[in-house]
Structure 1
Amino acid sequence: MSWDELKETKGLEECEVLNNNQGSLFRLTAEEFDIIRDLIDEKNIITEKETEEIEIKPYSFSADPDKPFLEEQEIKEIIHSLEVKKNIVLQGPPGVGKTFIAKKIAYEMMKKTDDTKIRMIQFHQSYSYEDFIQGIRPSEKSFKVKNGIFYDFCKKAKSEANQKFFFIIDEINRGNLSKIFGELMMLIESDKRGKYKVPLTYSEKDDAPFSVPENLYLIGTMNTADRSLAIVDYALRRRFRFITLEPKFNNRFKDFLGSNGFSKDFIEEISSKIKSLNNKIKSDKNLGSGFLIGHSFFCSPNNGDEREWFENIVKFEIKPLLEEYWFDDSEKVENEINLLLS
């Protein structure tokens, strides 16, 4: 990541180190940190794909040993929605594997693990049309039009019209959707793919109108427990199908833990405790099913004592979440944590 790239990035205009780099330690706001982290992640993904030969293997959800804890029928229903609508949002509480499932859906539709046909980004509050579609950027001696990440991916999809491409937007509701998509809000509709073309905001007079190809699928993910975000507007809801994912403390989850060396009694114990906690969260009028505890909190490997593994997850991952949920009732939080650890 070069200094010039950072200085050109929207949202970093007031960044302390970019305005005065004399010193050793500099403050970053949470928003600036998120923007820089996303830039680095994006660079790493591109570099990784450019420098490493990606191994492409045949894929089948039913034969995948690392598949999500969804039933095959659930996956089929999600895929059907994506094929019909072209755009879906996987929504659910933290820890239900939304991003993980999004990638598996892409593999199942392609019938292969071809990551060159998948692009993943994360929206944030400073993300703009200029980042996503097209914008004016400074060059050495002047300003020039620079294509955004979605524009380039659409172009790539058009060049291989017989292949399926997948654009995954993590935390889709964190961005200002109308501002980011602009005139493309209409073009992403399933019945307007390929056929409808419009000139872009920053396009030159001789530039061809832009369209979104039929072989490109949009998958968004949305955390339903994020209270800092506004309700998703109607414009987005009309163009996407919303699919709710729930925690899966089912037999597949139990089999997964068993294959990782956990005892049967312990697996039943933690499943029972988290289900009990989730019932309380679901019945809370200020929370509800969008705030449940997901199964993926308990899918990390265990290299030691299983009870110590569970205690660490409860103390350092579940407890902070409950403190946010019941921010005005610390006694309730302590009671629930004690029940989990008893």
Structure 2
Amino acid sequence: MEIKDYVKKYNLSFDKVKSEFDDDFKSLYESEKEWLENLEDKVHLLKNKKDQAQVTYVINKLKSTESFNENDSKALSTFVSKVNTIVKIANRINNFKEGTVLDNGTTLKLYDFFNSVKNSDNLSEVNYLLNSNLNNFLPHIFSLIKHSQNPIDYPIYYKFWKNILREVLSKDDDYDSMCTFYRNFPSKNRHLNFATYLGTLGTQIAKNINSSGMVITAGSKDYKYLINEVINIERYNSILDDQLTNSVSSNKQNIKYWLYAPGENARKWNELFSSNEMAIGWDDLNDLSEFSSKEKIEEALMESAKDGKRKYNNALACYEFASVIKPGDIVITKKGKREYVGWGIVTGEYFYDSDQTEYKHRRKVDWKRKGEWIDGAGDIVTKTLTDITKYPDYVKRLTMLLGIDKKENSPMGDNVYYPLNTILYGPPGTGKTYSTILRASEIIENKKIDSYDEAFNIFNANLHKQIEFITFHQNYSYEDFIQGLRPETDNKSSLVFDKIDGVFKKIADKALENLKLAQKAPEELSSEAKFDKALELFSDKVLESEDNFKINDTAYIFEVEGDAYRYTGEKWTNHTNGLRMKYSDLKEFYRNSVKSRKDIKSLSNISGLANQHATYYYLVYAEILKHLPKKAEGAQKVNRKNFVIIIDEINRANISRVFGELITLIEPDKRSHGAIPLEARLPSGDPFIVPSNLYIIGTMNTADKSIALLDIALRRRFEFESMYPKYEIENQEIYDVDILKKINEQIIKSKGHDFQIGHAYFMGENKNLLLRMNKKVIPLLLEYYMNDEKEVKGILQSAGLIIEENSWPLRIKGTND
């Protein structure tokens, strides 16, 4: 079957469409009601109240017998400039601006033009002298004016409706012919019914490609015909793409990489990042979708500039932005000639936003990262938009530099995706802890792992490195988890309290450090390596000295620890055991090119002690700089890694008390590389942010506490995955499955699903039913039922088990089989 024959199959009447595709018709009717009802019924969608009043004034005057006059020019200008935002007819009518020069040398007077249209019944009757540009858009503004005047007889002239009329219904697609066809529809809600009818035809064409036997691939001639000449709206294109043979693999293979400047010196970057958009200028071109080629765009640019110079690069940027970039492409943003500031994935088609004051050409983008990266390989091209796909070495270098994962929108690759915050919940023995080991290993390896033995080895090799495992209990506290004070009990001097980081803060700091290093170019890492070497040399000097290292006349360093210098003063009676000067603070000085004590005071990402003791810190820092080597060993690019913290029995602790301010910071968009990263200040004064590469996996025993009883703040921030008993697991044996099923059936009836016996109790090396039941399952049942002997006996007997007489605790001696 030819593609045009397939399309013609849907030349169906309104009544047939309503009856045969009733569900699709009703769904589309409801979803598009707000946008496709009569214009007069949706003026309220305009954002500005004054604009609403002006547009309503014009509509009312069109419906009256009164003519427009010169005093109406302002209201008419508002109508043509604003109404586009609520009719989705591109920007065609924006071209009709008061004072536009016409072919006869006069200028356009909107009141005169509106009167002419108002008094014409058909488009073919309009005899109003315009210019060649405005003549192209006359059908669109004519349809809008006549629809406002009389929506029962005149529809709005949408391109999609033209396409369906011509290609599907085999009718003339000029506006007067559309009106004739339109007037055959039921008068009640005619415009919305007409729109839904045509839209339902588009839906059927898109969704039934595969079932029709048609074989179409993305980018083929037939595909282009459908998306350009028939169903030229993203809604239907998306349905079509889901149906296409090999569409997924084809899209992946054809991903392009674009280098993009968000304004001069990236001045629009913050705004566009927040709105999840990319945008370019050249606003005087109006809607780029109206141009058939880049040559036409260049002609318009040259006509506008009037300097006689070619505008090839500008035209190419406009053409590629509107017609070549596609959803799935990766965009890398740049600033100036040396700096990259972020990257994202294109999610939407081109659109023209006339409400913007500048940069009206736009696309939706899912921005993934925002930061500052320097590529030492050379200057960046200065063009606004550049397709760099054809330079694979350059693409590879940038993907490594910015941490771009081209496989998937998530950092987990093609086959695996896990949310950042997950809780596995279910009764005891359903494999929750077992699953965390497998999942944690997959997360840090960025791949699917089929062998549990392999996962277990990976887990153990990375425990206390990229993975932490803790179990919550009733006495677990914020100080254990985030940060707290601990008494120091060494024999140096009197008892003091020292600030100690908890397990979560430790792994969060590791993960954040990895993210920071992964964003740096090798030459930056070489620079940091020089400071690390200087730190090492200075530490050696302090250690080798027989005396304490004198900072100034009042303070001295007396010990070198793994991550800090311990310092004190002769008269510091409150700190005789010393304070800790962290290396991480000194490194921040170097990263921020600190030149004085005053510079330290301006830093926000250092500890409270570093800020308070800026003088001592700066003097030590100055000493370290004296040991900077002239050259550093060549540093390798650091790859971004994933980190995992597993919290077993997460529901056993007081969640609000343990998590504290962290409960907000763990949300994906509040993390270090989220859309709105939030940094908290801990009670110690240390800054703290949760990194975007740290996964939190919790487990929860529902027999201890129902999900319904969990802290609401926690429930909102985690995704919950249920884990209930299984009775069949591939490549593993579950013993006595029928008995397990019967026990759980009785438990569900009396206590609910959350108190079932997990399949793990019926697996493993011990195949002896009596031992398993008497040592593990029956004690658990007695606990569930508060030693109610009668209840537990009933459950055991329903499972076909023989109970040993006069035994306590209850025991079984066999089965009825």
Note the alpha carbon deviations across 1:267-304, whole angstroms, 9 max, x for none.
4xx101111111111122xx1111111111122213xx
**Distance between the aligned counterparts of 1:182 and 1:300, measured in 2?**
40
- The match for 1:334 is 793
**Distance between the aligned counterparts of 1:293 and 1:143, measured in 2?**
47
Q: 1:227 to 1:167 in 2, by over 3 A?
A: closer
- The match for 2:605 is none
Q: 3-state SS of the aligned residue for 2:688?
A: coil
Specify the code of the residue in structure 2 equivalent to 1:173.
N
Tell whether 2:451 aligns with 1:131: no
Tell whether 2:733 aligns with 1:257: yes
**Distance between the aligned counterparts of 2:721 and 2:665, measured in 1?**
22
Note the alpha carbon deviations across 1:5-30, whole angstroms, 9 max, x for none.
xxxxxxxxxxxxxxxxxxxxxxxxxx
User: 8 Å contact 2:466–2:642 — kept in the other structure?
Assistant: yes
Specify the code of the residue in structure 1 equivalent to 2:666.
I
- The match for 1:213 is 691
User: 8 Å contact 1:135–1:148 — kept in the other structure?
Assistant: yes
User: 8 Å contact 2:428–2:757 — kept in the other structure?
Assistant: yes
- The match for 1:36 is none
Q: 1:103 to 1:332 in 2, by over 3 A?
A: same
Note the alpha carbon deviations across 1:192-250, whole angstroms, 9 max, x for none.
011211110223xxx4x110100000000000011599910110001111111111111
Once the two structures are aligned, what percentage of the paired residues are identical? Answer: 42
Structure 1 segment 263-342 matched on structure 2, within 5 A: 267=735, 270-284=736-750, 287-302=751-766, 306=767, 309-327=768-786, 329-338=788-797, 339-340=800-801, 341-342=814-815
Q: 1:79 to 1:326 in 2, by over 3 A?
A: farther
User: 8 Å contact 1:91–1:222 — kept in the other structure?
Assistant: yes
Q: 3-state SS of the aligned residue for 2:742?
A: helix
Q: 1:232 to 1:138 in 2, by over 3 A?
A: same
Structure 1 segment 223-262 matched on structure 2, within 5 A: 223-226=701-704, 231-252=709-730, 255-257=731-733
Instruction: Compute the displacement of 1:251 (Å).
Output: 4.6
Q: 1:151 to 1:251 in 2, by over 3 A?
A: closer
Structure 1: state its 5+ residue gaps. Answer: 1-75, 259-266
**Distance between the aligned counterparts of 1:169 and 1:324, measured in 2?**
25
User: 8 Å contact 2:743–2:796 — kept in the other structure?
Assistant: no
**Distance between the aligned counterparts of 2:416 and 2:752, measured in 1?**
27
**Distance between the aligned counterparts of 2:694 and 2:737, measured in 1?**
39
Which of 135, 153, 157 lines up with 2:511 in the alignment?
A: 157
**Distance between the aligned counterparts of 1:232 and 1:89, measured in 2?**
12
Tell whether 2:647 aligns with 1:169: yes
User: 8 Å contact 2:747–2:795 — kept in the other structure?
Assistant: no
- The match for 2:682 is 200
Structure 2: state its 5+ residue gaps. Answer: 1-412, 448-454, 516-639, 802-813
**Distance between the aligned counterparts of 1:227 and 1:168, measured in 2?**
19
User: 8 Å contact 2:747–2:755 — kept in the other structure?
Assistant: yes
Specify the code of the residue in structure 2 equivalent to 1:232.
L
Note the alpha carbon deviations across 1:37-82, whole angstroms, 9 max, x for none.
xxxxxxxxxxxxxxxxxxxxxxxxxxxxxxxxxxxxxxx9x964x3
Instruction: Compute the displacement of 1:94 (Å).
Output: 0.5
**Distance between the aligned counterparts of 1:200 and 1:187, measured in 2?**
12
**Distance between the aligned counterparts of 1:181 and 1:330, measured in 2?**
41
**Distance between the aligned counterparts of 1:210 and 1:227, measured in 2?**
31
Q: TM-score, normalised by structure 2?
A: 0.28
User: 8 Å contact 1:174–1:229 — kept in the other structure?
Assistant: no
- The match for 2:468 is 119
**Distance between the aligned counterparts of 1:202 and 1:174, measured in 2?**
27
Q: How many residues align?
A: 240
Note the alpha carbon deviations across 1:145-192, whole angstroms, 9 max, x for none.
111111111111122231011100000011111111111111111110
- The match for 1:105 is 439
User: 8 Å contact 1:93–1:291 — kept in the other structure?
Assistant: yes
Specify the code of the residue in structure 2 equivalent to 1:300.
G
**Distance between the aligned counterparts of 1:245 and 1:228, measured in 2?**
13
Tell whether 2:686 aligns with 1:222: no
Q: 1:178 to 1:251 in 2, by over 3 A?
A: closer
**Distance between the aligned counterparts of 1:326 and 1:297, measured in 2?**
18
**Distance between the aligned counterparts of 1:151 and 1:227, measured in 2?**
27
Specify the code of the residue in structure 2 equivalent to 1:153.
I
**Distance between the aligned counterparts of 2:720 and 2:437, measured in 1?**
17
User: 8 Å contact 1:124–1:175 — kept in the other structure?
Assistant: yes
Q: TM-score, normalised by structure 1?
A: 0.66
Q: 3-state SS of the aligned residue for 1:160?
A: helix
Q: 3-state SS of the aligned residue for 2:682?
A: coil
**Distance between the aligned counterparts of 1:131 and 1:108, measured in 2?**
27
**Distance between the aligned counterparts of 1:251 and 1:131, measured in 2?**
38
Tell whether 2:680 aligns with 1:178: no
- The match for 1:46 is none
**Distance between the aligned counterparts of 2:773 and 2:683, measured in 1?**
49
- The match for 1:45 is none
User: 8 Å contact 2:746–2:795 — kept in the other structure?
Assistant: no
Which of 429, 433, 445 lines up with 1:95 in the alignment?
A: 429
Instruction: Compute the displacement of 1:337 (Å).
Output: 3.2
**Distance between the aligned counterparts of 2:478 and 2:749, measured in 1?**
40
Structure 1 segment 45-84 matched on structure 2, within 5 A: 80=417, 82-83=418-419
- The match for 2:559 is none
**Distance between the aligned counterparts of 2:440 and 2:782, measured in 1?**
35
Instruction: Compute the displacement of 1:329 (Å).
Output: 2.9
| RMSD, aligned α-carbons | 2.3
